[in-house]
């Protein structure tokens, strides 16, 4: 299960995008799920290929990097207390992001499938509202199961 290590952080206060990415990636590294160069790789990739998306309800980001930096597949989640600026996928415009799903997946095709599933989730305004109000890891995991993310 992609949330079994429960790298789930609610209502975090981060100064900027890099701090948010570093915090979440270091949690994956501490859990032994990614290599020691995962954090650097995810930050570099985010600068080159931004992953921010403006949904109907809020800004989200889906940072990910090369599969060779992943030891064991996992998705990490962070909800920010106050948004931080990311750049939008495709056009590089600045957007305020409050939800981050960091993908640590081993297969390129798994990343594509997960991105498609997350895009469907992001289009569900009820589920997105729920993401902003849930208070426990169990609630998040249940929502991900209902949304068929995991």
| 40-to-50, 67, 113 alpha-carbon distances in Å | 15, 14, 24
Global confidence as pTM = 0.95
Domain range enclosing 74: 8-106
pLDDT of the residue at 4: 85
Indicate whether 5 pLDDT > 80.
yes
Q: What is the CATH number of the domain that holds 78?
A: 3.40.930.10
State mean pLDDT over 47-72: 95
Q: Dihedral sign, CA of 41, 1, 141, 126?
A: positive
| 69-to-97, 101, 111 alpha-carbon distances in Å | 25, 17, 13
Kindly give the residue spans of alpha helices, DSSP state H, lying in 7-107.
Answer: 17-30, 38-48
1, 149 in Cβ contact below 8 A? Answer: no
State mean pLDDT over 10-24: 97
pLDDT of the residue at 53: 96
Residue 89 lies in a domain: yes
State mean pLDDT over 59-81: 96
Residue 90 lies in a domain: yes
Residue 127 lies in a domain: no
């Amino acid at each position: 299960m992609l949330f079994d290590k429960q790298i789930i952080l609610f209502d975090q206060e981060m100064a900027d995008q890099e701090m948010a990415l570093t915090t979440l990636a270091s949690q994956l590294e501490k859990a032994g799920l990614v290599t020691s160069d995962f954090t650097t790789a995810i930050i570099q990739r985010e600068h080159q290929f931004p992953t921010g998306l403006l949904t109907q309800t809020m800004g989200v980001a889906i940072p990910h990097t090369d599969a060779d930096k992943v030891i064991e597949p996992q998705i990490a989640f962070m909800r920010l207390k106050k948004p931080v600026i990311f750049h939008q996928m495709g056009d590089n415009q600045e957007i305020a992001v409050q939800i981050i799903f960091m993908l640590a997946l081993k297969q390129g095709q798994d990343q594509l499938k997960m991105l498609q599933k997350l895009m469907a989730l992001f289009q569900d305004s009820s589920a997105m509202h729920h993401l902003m109000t849930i208070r426990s890891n169990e609630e998040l995991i249940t929502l991900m199961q209902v949304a068929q993310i995991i």
